[in-house]
Amino acid sequence: MKTIHTPMLNRPPILVSNQRHLPLRGNKKLYTIDVETQGQLVGMRQAGLLFRAIAEWNNLPLTTVYNIFQKYKQIGTVTTQQKSGRPTKLTEHDRQQLSCIITQCQRLTVAQVTSLMTSHVSNHTIQCKIHKLGKHSRIAPKKPYL
């Protein structure tokens, strides 16, 4: 067990175990930190705690705590800002419906699939979403007669 001294606070030192329970590192972000926790991290930093102490207290990587505080200093809030760009035309329900139509009737044209959809979108939009689903126009293999 390590002892972390908490400057500028009138409470006993924090006891932290040497074992870290961190997610595996990789190219993708494996977890998200909710807004309340991010607010607590910023509050702990403003109270005078060091980044290392905050990271060990919350069992988070040091860079994560630092990046959250940097985002707070730049933007002024820890909430996620609205993303730029045009919103998608198809909802999640529409994408599921499109996937079901494509898997059930594989020989339909894009115009026929568009007419089966409940939402009114163009053929080009449907074609792009079909490609994003990983379905491409492939010729079915010929099966021998047995």
Q: Where exactly are the structural domains of the chain? A: 2-18+32-75, 92-132
Whose tokens are 């606070």? That residue is 9
Q: Are strands 14-16 and 2-4 parallel, antiparallel or unpaired?
A: antiparallel
pTM: 0.47
CA distance 16 to 28: 28
C-beta of residue 69 within 8 angstroms of C-beta of residue 41: yes
Give pLDDT tens digits for 25-84: 555 566 788 899 999 999 999 999 999 999 999 999 999 999 999 999 999 998 888 888
DSSP tag of 65: H
